[in-house]
Amino acid sequence: MDALLNPILSYVLLYKYFAIFFVVYTGAIIIPWPANVMLLAVGAFASQGYISFWISLVVAVVANTLGDLTDYGISRIFGDAIIKKFRIDKVRFFIRLKEELVTDAAVTVFTTRFAGSLSSIANFLAGFVEVPFMTFLWFDLLGNIVEPFAALTLGYAVGNYWSDFSNLLSLTAGIIAAAVLLFILARMYRRMMHKYEEK
Amino acid sequence: MTALTTAKIMRYIKYAMIALTAVLLLLTVLFVWNYAALMRARIISDREGELSAIVQHHGPLTASDVGLIRPWMTFDYINTLFKVPPDYLKTSLSITDASYPRLSLSGYAKYDVTSTDAMLTEVQQSLDTYLAATTSSTATTTAK
């Protein structure tokens, strides 16, 4: 991860908020940058007086939300054509997934914000299954405020020793991603079980 | 959708849930192991006041912290971090690049055709000299 993170950190030190915006925005779209670890470092830079904590937070929230909206917009506009071309609408699992995602849209959008790369997949899926725009926007924004705030605050708190906490942060993101996926699958399973028993 | 298909999907979901639970347990064990390592290194302390540890991590860096310098850091950032005059490193390392201090150590090492490790050592030694000199002059002033 260092091979990817080190040039990013150099760019953050050189171009500050523009670099933060670029990394968070492209990371939110699909590129698996270590954006959370970068935000941990940015929090530490803020504690050392090199960068502003609040401007970094605003930039990260805006970039993350715009990135998520880009995914959502792309799949919302081109989703139908792709679904028809590849006949995905005939795949039973997709039909089931669509039903579940629309029923649980708010919870799914909010919880997947904390699940790293899973959030990009959730954005595309939300567009495909046509989750209402305002539902997506509000729950996305809410999750996007909490997530960078947590990473920046931790970086700010641990200061000069932020790099010692980067593994811990990556593991936390992994635990949250697995837990969120487990939670979504458990809800899906419970609902299907209920319908199955009714039949 | 037939009941049979539903049963099949449910079975797959069940397998996925079992696999995810195993991943979750493994990640939790790794998390605890990492946390314990930070406690052993006295970076996280459960006995001392949390605030005092945090304040220590925010103080200006001293000569004993030069090991924290990494090749991705820029000269500008190092100057801020160690409270060094902006042109000190430029003069002591005879840096001629016009983009100084907005230049990373690894970037300058490439420009200067020096190995990054050699560049890092030079910067650390230079900072060591400056910080030792300022610490002793501060001590002398305080004694007077």
Could you report the per-residue pLDDT of B111-135, keeping only the tens digit for each?
A: 776 788 888 888 889 888 888 887 6
Please report the ipTM that was assigned to this predicted complex.
0.76
Q: What is the pLDDT of residues B39-87, one digit of tens each?
A: 777 666 654 444 445 455 566 677 777 888 888 999 999 998 888 888 8
10-residue mean pLDDT profile of chain A (199 residues): values are 84 94 93 89 90 95 95 88 76 71 80 80 85 90 90 86 82 86 84 76
b/e A176-187 (16+ beta carbons within 10 angstroms → b): bbbbbbbebbee
How far, in Å, CA of A28 to CA of A120, rounded? 6
Provide the angle, in degrees to the nearest 10, between the axes of the packed helices A53-85 and A118-128: 50
The pLDDT value recorded for residue A23 is 95
Asked if B57 and A10 come within 8 Å (Cβ–Cβ), the reply is no
**Contact status, residue A43 vs residue A148, Cβ threshold 8 Å:** no
**Residue carrying the six token digits 């260092």:** A2
Q: Kindly indicate the confidence band of residue B15, based on its pLDDT and cuts at 50, 70 and 90.
A: very high
Among residues A1, A4, A51, which one has the least CA distance to residue A20? A51
The pLDDT value recorded for residue B48 is 46
Q: Kindly indicate the confidence band of residue B21, based on its pLDDT and cuts at 50, 70 and 90.
A: very high
The pLDDT value recorded for residue B138 is 61
Half-sphere exposure of A101 (CA within 13 A, CB side): 22
The pLDDT value recorded for residue A14 is 93
How far, in Å, CA of A57 to CA of A39, rounded? 9
For residue B108, what are the contacts with CB-CB under 8 A and spacing of at least 6? B75, B95, B97, B100, B119
DSSP of chain B, one letter per residue?
--HHHHHHHHHHHHHHHHHHHHHHHHHHHHHHHHHHHHHHTTSS-SSS-HHHHHHHTTSPP-GGGGGG--TT-BHHHHHHHHT--TTHHHHHTT---TTTTS-BHHHHHHHTT--HHHHHHHHHHHHHHHHHHHHHHHHHHHH-
pTM of the entire predicted model: 0.81
**Contact status, residue B112 vs residue B100, Cβ threshold 8 Å:** no
B6: chain A residues, CB-CB within 8 Å: 192, 195-196
Q: What is the pLDDT of residues A86-127, one digit of tens each?
A: 777 777 767 767 776 777 788 888 888 887 777 888 888 888
How far, in Å, CA of A65 to CA of A138, rounded? 10
Q: Which of B11, B28, B57, B111 to mutate to test the interface with A (most CBs of A within 10 A)?
A: B57
Question: Distance, in angstroms, between A141 CA and closest chain B CA?
Answer: 27
Asked if B77 and A50 come within 8 Å (Cβ–Cβ), the reply is yes
Higher pLDDT, B38 or B21: B21
For residue B100, what are the contacts with CB-CB under 8 A and spacing of at least 6? B75, B90, B108
Question: Distance, in angstroms, between A4 CA and closest chain B CA?
Answer: 11
Task: Pick the residue from chain B with its C-alpha nearest to A172.
Answer: B31
A6: chain B residues, CB-CB within 8 Å: 70-72, 106
